[in-house]
Structures are given as structure tokens and as C-alpha cells.
Amino acid sequence: MQLHSSGSSTVSHRFARHASPCRLRSNWPRPGRDCRWDIGRCPSAHDGRVPAETDIRYRRADFSEVHSFEARQAFVRNIAHGEAGINLADAAFQIAAEDDALVSHSSVKLPVQQYAKRMQRMAEDIARHKLSHMPSVGSDRDPEAILQIVQEYLYTEQKFQLPLTNLSGVPEHTRVDHPGVWENAKHAYLHETLISKKGIAAVLAVLQADVLQRLMKLGAVEFVVRTDCSDFTRIPTFVILPGMTRRMITKSDGSLLNTCTSDAIIQILRFLKRAYWPFAWDSSQGLAADSRGLGICGGFADAAKVALEGEADAAMQAIARTAKHRLERGIWTSPGAGDLRRAKSACERLVLIAGEDFPAERRDLAVILLHCGFLPQAYAELRAYAATEAGEGASAEEKELVRRLTALVQKEADAQSKADPLTVKSALAAEAPDMDTDRMIPLTW
């Protein structure tokens, strides 16, 4: 099965996933244009019609594992450079690329470089049209005036803004059955923010930090600033670092050291984890604690109880089945019942970038791995969390849930090959998945 495409650009190929079935080349007869087609060639057709779910003309190869693995490897290689060496914009783009691969199953990757060029054009536009009237010698330029010009360009001229829900749409001090109903995951993706001009504060922090770094590379800015990420409820601001110049943070390869904290990436991933969490979410400790992954609140307790006791609500089961059906076909408009695959990816990346500082991320990853059927991995993460200071100092209720989950998976985990807790080193050593050309999935409807 092949897709015809007259365009040659990467962006045009992205729409191949939505191609009309009539553009699929196949040796099968076309029922809409040949009423004499041979019913005998399709054993399941008794009345002249073939169920779309079993018709091979309406199925495609699944590239999700290959493309998501490549995006994950790029993300891990990036964060392996440490806080000073990480490229936040690239990390944000790779988060989007991995999630796009998981949900779209497309044979074409998310065109990350094309979106990066948009940011480069913004920096060039500022340098050429906004800063050209200022003194040509960088040291004579007023840093405060330059920063004001950059801020006005991004938030007044380009109209980037925060969504109405900002930090989270989940109501504070309550429990909701489907956090995905309250969150719009697109506000946490950098490429979607570039399109819609609307994103959470963490994404805007990554955006403006990257634009300023590009201005430094263009020679339009000589001073050094950091992006203030102390408050993710407002538009981030710049803070000038006195006495520091562009040359001081320029590495031998011409790239610049990162001056924006990786907390922005952590906040993006926590937003996505909440948006895709397929179980109830408890925000009784408030959004401040929720955004830092503190305590037993969040999604862990409900996910653990479902694993231990089962889902008692038939309506919840029906909603989950519907969501699974739609998400398997690459349909983004989920009814908010969550997405286990993307929740798992968000949890894994949180462990990779913040697992040492926030051990509770391992606890959340463990319960998601259990629901995915990865029992040895879930067992390893549960034991790793229980051995941390946070695990030992947890509440009695949380300790009991962790103990019961550990007992639940231990027998099966012991019967399978041993797994180790997820680390940057183990992620870099992971083997690339093989492309399963025999596995076909339904087209998007």
C-alpha cells in the first residue's frame, strides 16, 4: 500500500496521514467504482460490502514505535549534557515529536526543524527591524531597552499569550474523574504554541529564552540574562546577570550555555502527565503542590486503587474503551478519558530529567507501567522509590498502597527477566525497536 503525493516538502507530506482512501494504490477492486467486484476475494463479505475494520485497503503500517524512540533518544542525549548544556527548545520539540508519533502513527516525523526556523526568523526580525536603530556597538546598547523591545515583539506584536486556565484547568482542592477534560494538552507543546500563539508559562519561558539566545548568536545582544521561572502563573520575565557577556557563555562549538532553568521542561511534562492521566486526579493540596509532584495527591492513589481493586464504574470503563478506540486511530479529539501511552511517556521523561530531585515521579511511573503490563519495570521503580528518603517518609496511606502494589507485581516480576530502574544511562543504551511491517492499524476516520 502506497500513498501518492505530488508535493515534495516535508510539511506537505505531514498531511499524508489524512489522505483520502481513494488515493491508496491497491490491487483490490474499488467497490465505489466497480459494482462487479469479486466478493469471493474477501471471505468476510457476504452482502457485497467489506467491513472497514478488516479491509486491508483501509489499513496502514505503524511507525509510532520507531519515530517515538528516535525522539526519545534525542531528548535523552540533550538532557545528558546537564543543566548548563541542555537546549530547552530542542527538548520541548522532541517531547512534541514523541507524542505526535505515538498518537498519529504517521510515516512522517513531526517537522521539528521547520518549527525551529520559525523561531530563527523571529530573532532575525527583531535584530533587523527592531534593534537596527540602536547603537551598533553592543556594549553601548541599553539592556533594559532591548529586553523591553523583545518582550513587546513577542507579547504585543506576535500576540503570544497565556491560556485562560494557565497553570492548570483542574479545579483546586477537589477530585475530578477525568483531568484531561480540564486540560488542553496543546498548550504545553512548543510547536502548537508557535501556531496558536497560546501556551502555558513554561512553554513561553522556553520560547523567549531561545529567541534571546538566537539574538546573542546573531551578535545583536552582548549581555546575558536568565529567564525567571519562579512563578509559572504569569508571563516569564528576563533578569539581567551583571558583569556577564555573551563571550563568557559561548562554548567552543559556538553554542551557548543554557541560562533558563530546566524547571520549564519539568513543568511542561507535568502538565502533559496530568492531561493524559487515564484515572481520577486529586488536587486537594492545591495547584502549587500539584505542579511540584508532592504528596499522595495527583493521580497515584486512584490509579493504584484501580490496579488493586479494579474499576467499579461501568460508565468509566465505557468512556475508557471509546478513548482507546479513537486514540488508536490517531484522533486527537479524545473525550478526556486519558491516553495511557502518552501518560507513560510523560512519566518516563519526568523520571529521566527530575527523578533524583523528585522521587515521587518514579512512584507515578511505576503505577502506569503496571497498568501497561510492564511488571518487572514497575517492580523496579516501586523498589527504587521505596528506598528513597521521600518513600521512607511518606504517609501511612501511601506506604500501604506502595506495599500492596509491590506485592502484586513481585511474583510476576520474579518470573520474568529482571529490570533496572530507568536512568539516563539505561535510556541511552536502549536498543532501537524493529519496524513491524506485518502489523497494520486502521486508518484515521
- Rounded distance between C-alpha atoms, residue 271 and residue 167, angstroms: 8
Arithmetic mean of pLDDT, 121-125: 97
Helix (H, G, I), strand (E, B) or coil at 250: strand
444 φψ region: left (φ > 0), alpha (ψ -120 to 50), beta (else): beta
Greatest mean pLDDT among 32-36, 63-67, 159-163 lies in 159-163
Contact present, 211 and 122 (Cβ < 8 Å): yes
C-alpha grid cell, residue 252: 567552543
pLDDT higher than 90, residue 379: yes
Residues 314-363 pLDDT 10s: 555 555 565 555 555 545 444 467 888 999 999 999 999 999 999 999 99
Least confident of 47-51, 104-108, 433-437: 47-51
Contact present, 174 and 284 (Cβ < 8 Å): yes
What is the reported pLDDT for 288?
59
Choose among 345, 416, 349, 344: nearest CA to 380. Answer: 416
What is the reported pLDDT for 210?
96
Arithmetic mean of pLDDT, 84-93: 96
Tally of CB atoms within 10 A around 416: 12
First vs last C-alpha separation in the chain: 18
Least confident of 35-44, 116-125, 268-277, 311-320: 35-44
Residue 314 burial (10 A CB sphere; 0-12, 13-18, 19+):
exposed
Contact present, 70 and 98 (Cβ < 8 Å): no
Report pTM.
0.81
What is the reported pLDDT for 59?
64
Choose among 50, 28, 101: nearest CA to 71. Answer: 101
pLDDT higher than 70, residue 9: no
Greatest mean pLDDT among 7-21, 31-45, 204-218 lies in 204-218
pLDDT higher than 90, residue 93: yes
Residues 404-420 pLDDT 10s: 999 989 887 787 888 99
Residues in the chain: 445
Choose among 114, 71, 63: nearest CA to 94. Answer: 71
pLDDT higher than 70, residue 173: yes
Burial 238-264 (b: 16+ CB within 10 A, else e): beeeeeeebeebeeeeeebbbbbbbbb
Could you tell me which residue, 17 or 140, shows the higher pLDDT? Answer: 140
C-alpha grid cell, residue 409: 507485581
